[in-house]
A and B are shown apart, each in its own frame.
Chain A
Amino acid sequence: MIRSATPVTMIAIAAALALALALPVIAPGYYVQFASKAMLMGMLALSLNLIVGFGGLVSLCHGAFFGLAGYMLGFLTPDSGGASLWLSLPVALLTVAAVAAIIGALSLRTRGIYFIMVTLAFGEMLFYLFHDTRIGGGSDGMYIYFKPEIAIAGSALLDLEKSNTFFYVALACLVGTALLIRGLVRSPFGHALVAARDNERRALSLGFPVFRLRLAAFVISAMIAGLAGYFSAAQFGFVAPQLLGWHLSATMLVMVVLGGMSSILGPLVGALALIGLEEVLKSSFEHWKLIKGLIIIGLVFALPGGLQQLAAMLQTGSSQVPDLGADVAEPVPAPAGEARSHV
């Protein structure tokens, strides 16, 4: 269950928000763009944690939802100018929702290791769909020359081409996502989701429709990932099959674990930390991925509770190592008329 935020946390959130609001004024343009990118990654991590942290389901296809929404923006952007956001964003998100509903309905028939493998495979299916066929420019990807237009009655409301405006839109999306996830986790839906994670069999015998519950969480989470992917594609003006690949999904999982899965905002902190770290490593080492890999291995063994555990250790001086906490649900014997599980 989620603890209420302490005063210290509240102050930290307020300070971070104030800093974010002031950033375009105090920092050079490069940092503003970088911060926009990092915030979109943060949204991605927040969305994934709904499924991984609160649902106990390790999904490896969220990168595909991120990339798919980007491609949708690409398809909907005309050659002559920007696509209308009012049209292209809903279409992109509904497409992602439809694909996620199909993938989720199939994957959620399985549990544990199977679920990981099946989501990975379906995610890669989308990757190969864009990589091996001519859809969206094949393996070369496609350019999006114009950012989506936000207009009311023909007059532009916001100009996303301006990096400061884009930054504030991304910030608004991020804050909205955090509030949405907070609301979901505290709602009856969220409580039922966590109950199914902790003891699936018990949740079922109390009468919770676990399959539908998880499917809804999966689709919502995919749509948020899609929202991040849409704006990410708009920011970079380019989409390629690699965006859908599972390495991005795995990196998202690293962000979630790094930040800590038991809190709503932890994954955001993890995302910002990892993106920042990658940026530093990239500029300092040619073989930065080697170091990233070693850091991930170190995280698994030394700091499975992520940065939250580090903070707790610094406060109390203890170094008790908890396990990651997801995927602890007991195996359930075959129920009638429902998906069956083992392992």
Chain B
Amino acid sequence: MDAITFAVQLLNGVQYGLVLFLVASGLTLVFGILGVINLAHGAFYMLGAYLAWAIASYTGSFALALVGALAISFALGVALEEVFVKRMIGRDHLAQVLLSFGLILVIDELRQILFGKDVHSVAPPSWLQGSIQLTEVLSYPVYRIALCLVCLVLAVAIFYVIQRTRLGMIIRAGAENRDMTRCLGIPFDLVNRYVFAGGIALAGLGGILVAPISTVFPGMGDGMLILSFVVVVLGGIGSVTGAAIGALLIGLTDTFGKVFFPQVSSILIYVLMAGVLLWRPNGLLGKA
């Protein structure tokens, strides 16, 4: 493998990891703050992609698709928190698993009714179409580079919110000790709602941003759900930094696994997970 190919694969791996981070950071925050396991997280990723496709093909504008699908995802998150999820806090995990499984079936079927089950593609905005020529035979799509940059900016924004703002302080305190934070007179209902809706929005955003570089198809949510779970298991529940490390590890493992060990690439990330479980059962940055 020459240096350029290696660089391209590295870029692919990082870009994959960054998208994974967007989706998984939402998941890990919902686990950490609300203590709720949400198997429907992947379904919102899929829904984000379908919404983006629907809006883009109706209006012809990727920007409108981005804004619209994101807003709908966030609103859905707020509504679901209000109707279902807040009743789930403190219930056992089995009830949470069943609720989110029920939601998956409903979301999948509604998607079927509204958008059908066809595979679609979404065109990137015109100013991001085209590729950068690296060598005579290798080129790299501009949209992928833009995607990396957007994800990086978002990742920095997430870290800024968590580390520097009052909301972030509450979130960190909540992940550390939920009962204690509740005693301090913090408006936890509100925090829960926006953390949950924010998590859903991040999942949806992942789906929207990925739509132009991959196809939009019904099963895309399941695959992303499993990957996000592996990311959270690797990083540790509630740890955004852990999610970042886990996501990049998986992005790189998967990308280079496909290059070097194509036969077994699909199970490599699980081998990675098994190794981390042996070493640190609560994840790399999880609380011991």
Contact = CB atoms under 8 A, between A and B. Distances in A.
Touch between chains A and B, by CB atoms below 8 Å: yes
Interface of A: 52, 58, 60, 106-107, 109-110, 112-114, 116-118, 120-122, 124-125, 128-129, 131-133, 245-247, 250, 253-254, 257, 287, 289-290, 292-297, 299-301, 304, 323-328, 334, 339-343
Contacts of B31: 113, 343
Q: How large is the interface on B (under 10, 10 to 19, 20 to 34, 35 or more residues)?
A: 35 or more
A109 B108 CA distance: 33
A124 B221 CA distance: 13
Given A128-B267, A257-B98, A293 B105 contact: yes
A121 B35 CA distance: 19
A128 B226 CA distance: 11
B37 to A, nearest CB: 5
Contacts of B39: 120, 250
14 contacts: A113-B35, A118-B277, A120-B39, A121-B230, A121-B270, A253-B101, A287-B112, A292-B102, A293-B109, A304-B95, A323-B91, A326-B92, A341-B282, A342-B282
A122 B110 contact: no
Nearest to A53: B94
Interface of B: 31, 35, 37, 39, 84, 87, 91-95, 97-99, 101-106, 108-110, 112-113, 222, 226, 229-230, 232-233, 237, 263, 266-267, 270, 273-274, 277-278, 281-283, 286-288
Given A109-B277, A110-B277, A287-B112, A293 B93 contact: no
A57 B249 CA distance: 29
A125 B267 contact: yes
A124 B226 contact: yes
Given A113-B31, A342-B286, A293 B104 contact: yes
A324 B232 CA distance: 25
Given A287-B113, A289-B108, 13 more contacts: A114-B237, A117-B37, A125-B267, A128-B267, A250-B98, A287-B112, A290-B105, A296-B101, A296-B105, A297-B103, A300-B102, A327-B93, A342-B288
Nearest to B113: A287
Given A118-B277, A125-B270, A290-B106, A300 B93 contact: no
B119 to A, nearest CB: 15
A342 B287 contact: yes
Nearest to A120: B229
A-B pairs with the 6 shortest C-beta distances?
Answer: A293-B105, A296-B102, A290-B109, A293-B106, A297-B102, A125-B270
A58 B94 contact: yes
B226 A120 contact: yes
Nearest to B270: A125
Give the dominant DSSP class at A's interface.
Answer: helix
A288 to B, nearest CB: 8
B267 A340 contact: no
A137 to B, nearest CB: 16
A131 B35 CA distance: 33
B103 A253 contact: no
B274 A106 contact: yes
Interface centre among A109, A112, A343, by most chain B C-beta atoms within 10 angstroms, is A343
Given A106-B277, A110-B277, A128-B267, A334 B288 contact: yes
A117 B97 contact: no
A127 B273 CA distance: 16
B232 to A, nearest CB: 6
Nearest to B228: A117
B98 A328 contact: no
Contact of B97 (A121, A250, A340): A250
Interface centre among B84, B93, B101, B226, by most chain A C-beta atoms within 10 angstroms, is B101
A324 B93 CA distance: 9
A253 B94 contact: yes
A122 B270 contact: yes
Nearest to A339: B281
Nearest to A293: B105
A124 B283 CA distance: 19
Interface centre among B110, B112, B273, B277, by most chain A C-beta atoms within 10 angstroms, is B277
Interface centre among A109, A113, A129, by most chain B C-beta atoms within 10 angstroms, is A113
A60 to B, nearest CB: 7
A110 to B, nearest CB: 5
A294 B39 CA distance: 16
Given A125-B267, A257-B94, A290 B273 contact: no
Given A117-B229, A133-B266, A106 B278 contact: yes
B106 A132 contact: no
B209 to A, nearest CB: 23
A113 B31 CA distance: 8
Contacts of A121: 226, 229-230, 233, 270, 273
B270 A325 contact: no
